Amino acid sequence: MKSRSFNAQLILVIVAVIALCWAVVLGVVLTQFSLNRASTWDEKLGAIATQLLVTIPADSDFDGEGGPGLKLRTAPGTEHEPLVFQIWVDRNRMVAGTPGAPESPLQPDFADGAASTLVEGQKWRVYSASDSTGRVTVQVGNLQSAVDADMRHEAAHALVLATVLLVIAGFIMWLVSQAALKPVRALGVAMRHRRRFDFTPLPLDRLPRELHPLVDSFNHVLRQLDEAIEGERRFIGDAAHELRTPLSALQAQAEIALGATDPQNKDAALRKLLVVARRSTRLSEQLLDLASINAGAKAPRHVPADLSKLVQHVAQEFEVYASLNQRSLFLDVHACTISCDIDEIGILLRNLMHNAMRYTCEGGNVLVRCGYQKPSGNEPVPMVYLEVADDGPGVPAEEREAIFERFHRVAGTPVRGSGIGLSLVADIAESHNATIQTGTGLEDRGLMVRIVFPGVDEPQLPE
C-alpha cells in the first residue's frame, strides 16, 4: 500500500476546514440578510419618516386650496434617486415630495408602519407615519431593487472579509505545521547521514511531545540492534578463538601421523586426530545452532507436542554413544504436552544428554525424566518438567548459574567442553517461557538440570 504524506494530508485538512467554514459563513450571512434585510431598511425608512414628520410646524396651514403641492427642486443626477418621500394631507393631497417620487401614494391605504407595495409598476419598500391628528402623513420609500442590491453588496463584503480571514488563518496554520515538522525532517536528514552501525539514540529535545512515544520506540529498537550486533561481534570473536584450538590440534596430529613410521604410533596419532575431529564437528554444530537461534533465522512455530515422545526419539540417538563410551542411559518419562518448536526442543535435549554423557565417568549413569509437575495451587494448568541428571563430578553450587553463559567452563573439570551447549539450552528455554532449575544429580553426586515448561490447557496434539 502506498504511503501517504503527512504534509499533504495536513494541507488537505486545512483546505477542507477552510472550505467548510466558508460554506458555514455563507449560509449564516445569507440567512441573516434574508431575515434582516426588511427590518434593517424599515428602521432606516422609519427614522427618516419620523424626522420629517416632527420637522413640520404644528401651525402649518394645510386648508388652503392650491396645486398638487410643494415639489423640491430637481438637482442634477437625482432624477432616478431610489429613496423618496411624500407628505400627504388628509390622505388626498400631496403637499411635498422628492423628485422622482410617484404622484400616487407610496402606501395607498395610508396604514402606519412598513410594507411592500407596487406603485406605477415598481416595487417599493415603504414606511408610513401619521401625526396625532391623522391629517398629515409622511411616506418614505425605497425601491425594492435598491434594497436588494444593497443587501447583496453587504453580503458580498461580509463573504470577502470572511474569506480573507479564513485564508489568513489557514496560512498561519500551515506555517505552524511546517515549523512543527521541521525538527522531524531534520531528524530524518540526520538519520540518512549517519554512519553504518551508529545506533546512538535519537534526540527528543526539539521534537513535538506527541512524537516522543514513537521516537522512544525507535530508540528501543536501536538499543536492541546495538545489543544484538555487539553480541554477534562477541560471538564471532569467541567462535574464532574456540575454533583455533581444535584446528591447531588437527594440524598437529595430522603432521604426527604423517611423520610416524611405527604403525602403532601412527594409529595412536590417528585416534587422537579422530577425537579432535569429532570435537571440532560437535563445536561446529553447536555454533551453527547458536547462530541460527540468536539470529532468528525462522519465525517461531510452536505447536503442541508430547514431550515424552521427543525424549524417547532423541534417546535412541544416544544409545550407541552410551554403549560405546560405557555409560548407562535410563528413561523415566510420562506422557505430557507442551507448546514448542520441535526442532529447538530437539537441540535442547541433545545438548543436555550430550553434556551429561561427556561429564559422567565410565560406568556412570544418566537419567532423563519428564512429566507433569505437581501444581502449587495457583496454576490454571499443571506445569511440565524435563529433568536430566547424572552421577558425574557435578558443578559447585556457586557456579551452577554461570554454566549457562556462553563459553563458560568450570575450572578443574577433567573433560574440556566448548561452553556452548548449556547456553543453547538457556536460549531455547527462554524462547519457550520456561525456567531452569539446577541441583545435585544421582546418588547425591553429579548435576541435575530441570526445565519447567508452561502447561497447555486442553492440548490438541497433531496427528
Grid cell 506527541 in the structure block, residue:
210
In CATH, what class is 301-453? alpha beta
Give the burial class of 198: count Cβ atoms within 10 A of its Cβ; 0-12 exposed, 13-18 middle, 19 or more buried.
Answer: exposed
Going residue by residue through the chain (463 aa), what tens digit of pLDDT does each one get? 455 666 677 777 777 887 888 788 777 777 766 665 556 667 777 787 787 777 777 666 666 554 455 555 544 544 456 788 888 888 888 888 887 778 888 888 888 888 888 887 888 888 888 887 778 888 888 887 777 777 777 777 777 887 888 788 878 877 877 777 787 778 778 778 878 777 788 887 777 777 788 888 888 888 888 877 776 776 666 666 556 656 666 677 677 777 777 777 777 777 777 766 766 676 666 666 666 666 554 556 788 999 999 999 888 888 877 887 788 899 999 999 999 888 888 888 888 988 888 888 888 899 999 999 877 666 677 889 999 999 888 888 888 888 887 666 655 555 455 567 788 888 889 888 999 999 998 988 889 999 999 877 655 554 4
Please give the pLDDT value at position 67: 47
Please give the pLDDT value at position 297: 46
Please give the pLDDT value at position 408: 61
For the question of whether the overall pTM of this predicted structure is more than 0.75, the answer is no
Please give the pLDDT value at position 406: 67
CATH topology of domain 203-297: Helix Hairpins (1.10.287)
**Domain ranges for the chain:** 1-56+68-73+80-193, 203-297, 301-453
